[in-house]
Amino acid sequence: MNPFLIAETPNAGSRGHRFLVPPGCGWDDGRVAAFVHRGRDDGERIGVNYIAVARGATQHSSGRAARVVLALVGVDTAKLSTNEQDRIVRRLRDLLGEIDAVAARHPWAGEQRLVVPFPELAVWLESDFPSLGERSAENGPQEHGEPSRYGWLSCLIGGLILVVLTISIAEFVRWLIVR
């Protein structure tokens, strides 16, 4: 997957929280939420295939405390130097401050979708992160040291091998006793 930006704003007019994606992204709300959720709690988070920043905000329609999140997804952070990661975090923080202004210009009155295309995200990626290129093929958010999305399959195969070995040893012991 090529890198792109996604965001969450609590200020989608009277609609509350909405996810913002570049046009043509094709992701559903569950997939976007998985990345946004990883970045929501901390000021910044660098995963295996994403970098996210967040800040506190006030939801204009209710006055409640909320979070604004901006994430660069689809980037292999292991291929980035610490300086590159720091530069990306700083630029994401700068852009995070513009999310409310961009969201305020959108006509939310007729908007029913949770995942809303925002051309600004594609423009920001192209102008602020042009050298990233294709860096990661992972589909979901991953933390450093976290198993891949196929971890469950490895566990299942390992468990089956363990069961077969246990049965084989038991049968061999039974054969030795009977003999």
Q: 42-46, 63-67, 102-106, 159-163: which range is least confident on average?
A: 159-163
Residues 6+ apart with CB under 8 A from 2: 74, 133, 134
Task: Report residue 83 as tokens.
Answer: 């300086």
pLDDT, tens only, 47-87: 888 999 999 888 877 888 888 999 999 898 888 999 999 99
pLDDT value at residue 22:
92
pLDDT value at residue 139:
52
Q: Is the pLDDT of residue 151 over 70?
A: no
Name which of 146, 150, 131, 145 is nearest 2 in CA terms: 131
Please report which confidence band the pLDDT of residue 154 belongs to, taking 50, 70 and 90 as the band edges.
low
Please report which confidence band the pLDDT of residue 136 belongs to, taking 50, 70 and 90 as the band edges.
very low
Task: Please check whether residue 46 is in contact with residue 90, taking contact to mean a CB–CB distance below 8 angstroms.
Answer: no
Q: Is the pLDDT of residue 162 over 50?
A: yes
Task: Please check whether residue 150 is in contact with residue 12, taking contact to mean a CB–CB distance below 8 angstroms.
Answer: no
pLDDT value at residue 149:
47
Give the separation between CA 53 and CA 45, rounded to whole angstroms. 6
Q: Which has more confidence, 161 or 120?
A: 120
